Amino acid sequence: MLNNCILYFNTAPVAPNYDETGYSPGVLNYCCTAPLPLNGIGNITNEPVFVNAAAGNLRLGSGSACIDAGTNLSVIITNDLDGRPRPADGNADGIAAFDIGAYEHQVALVWQDSPNPAPPYASWNTAATNIQDAIDAALAGDEIVVTNGTYATGGKAVYGTMTNRVAVDKPVTVRSVNGAEVTIIQGAKAPGPVGTGPAAVRCAYLTNGAALYGFTLTNGATHAGGDTARERCGGGIWCASVTAIVSNCIVTSNTASYYGGGVYSGTLNACTIWRNSALSGAERAMARCTTAC
């Protein structure tokens, strides 16, 4: 009998994932496999959505149907393969449930008025008070869920001394609960009429494979000198490549001393980019828009 297992992407001339036609067929319960088993309960056929199967990262990615879809095995299992507690509330519905697979999908919560912030920030009572703390505590494939507020504290430099209010420096998903109108990441302009300079704070940095959903990013700025691409471009958002995804965001009133006052690089989905400024005059540079921006 198998419980809470993923049997997928295997190869064989017949029955590549499992065989229930043999002399003593096994029973699968709450497993992710295809085709749907004739025996057992709670099984699903959806692809598991691993973070990066090609690189051996078999943790569940955001949106996987395996999240919170397993049966309760807490009598015999209390931790996942990373040693992190299970079950966890992987879909942020307020109920902790076992995931299908060896790893629990972890969700860290962020609320600027959290009364008792404490890692792993798994409940609203212990949520992080700034987004960066939650990212720093996360592993690749985790999800950070942010509730309403203006997030204007914290920050991290990824290259040189260019501070980013939110540095998504690992492939995680950061999403708001209620959208860009009420969830704001606020950078900082440097003193002076232009707003760029050593004291400037960019709103967000996204590494390869990172994703940002449903925020307003405003008042960010870059350095006036230093590395042209990494310190002078992207006053609102700087992306390492088109594999960094920005969706349903408003990027406004940001400044860069070179290209991309609003956004530099990345893939933009259903975003509003307006009233940003840059020396080159471009509000976005090197960015790919899959829907109207």
Report the chain (293 residues): mean pLDDT per 10 consecutive residues: 96 89 78 94 97 91 94 96 92 91 95 95 93 95 96 95 97 96 98 94 97 98 96 97 96 96 96 93 76 62
Quick check: is 201 in a domain? yes
Determine if the peptide bond prior to 35 is cis (ω within 30°). Answer: yes
Structure confidence at residue 22 (pLDDT): 64
Q: What is the helix (H) or strand (E) element at residue 228, kind and residue range?
A: helix 228-232
Beta sheet of 272-274, edge-to-edge order:
149-151, 183-186, 216-218, 250-252, 272-274
* 249 CB-near residues (< 8 Å, 6+ apart): 180, 212, 213, 214, 215, 216, 217, 237, 268, 271, 272
Quick check: is 100 in a domain? no
Quick check: is 135 in a domain? yes
Quick check: is 73 in a domain? no
Bridge pairing between strands 163-168 and 156-157:
antiparallel
Report how many domains make up the chain: 1
Quick check: is 142 in a domain? yes
Angstrom CA distances, 146 to 57, 105, 117, stand at 25, 17, 14
Structure confidence at residue 83 (pLDDT): 93
Quick check: is 36 in a domain? no
Quick check: is 81 in a domain? no
Structure confidence at residue 288 (pLDDT): 77
Structure confidence at residue 150 (pLDDT): 98
Whole-structure pTM over 0.85, yes or no?
yes
Are 185 and 204 within 8 A, CB to CB? yes
Structure confidence at residue 21 (pLDDT): 74
Quick check: is 233 in a domain? yes
Q: Considering only CA atoms, which of 43, 36, 55, 52 is closest in space to residue 5?
A: 43
120, 123, 125, 127: CA torsion to nearest 10: 50
Are 235 and 185 within 8 A, CB to CB? no
d(CA 237, CA 241): 12
- Could you list the residue range(s) of the whole structural domain that residue 165 is in? 106-293
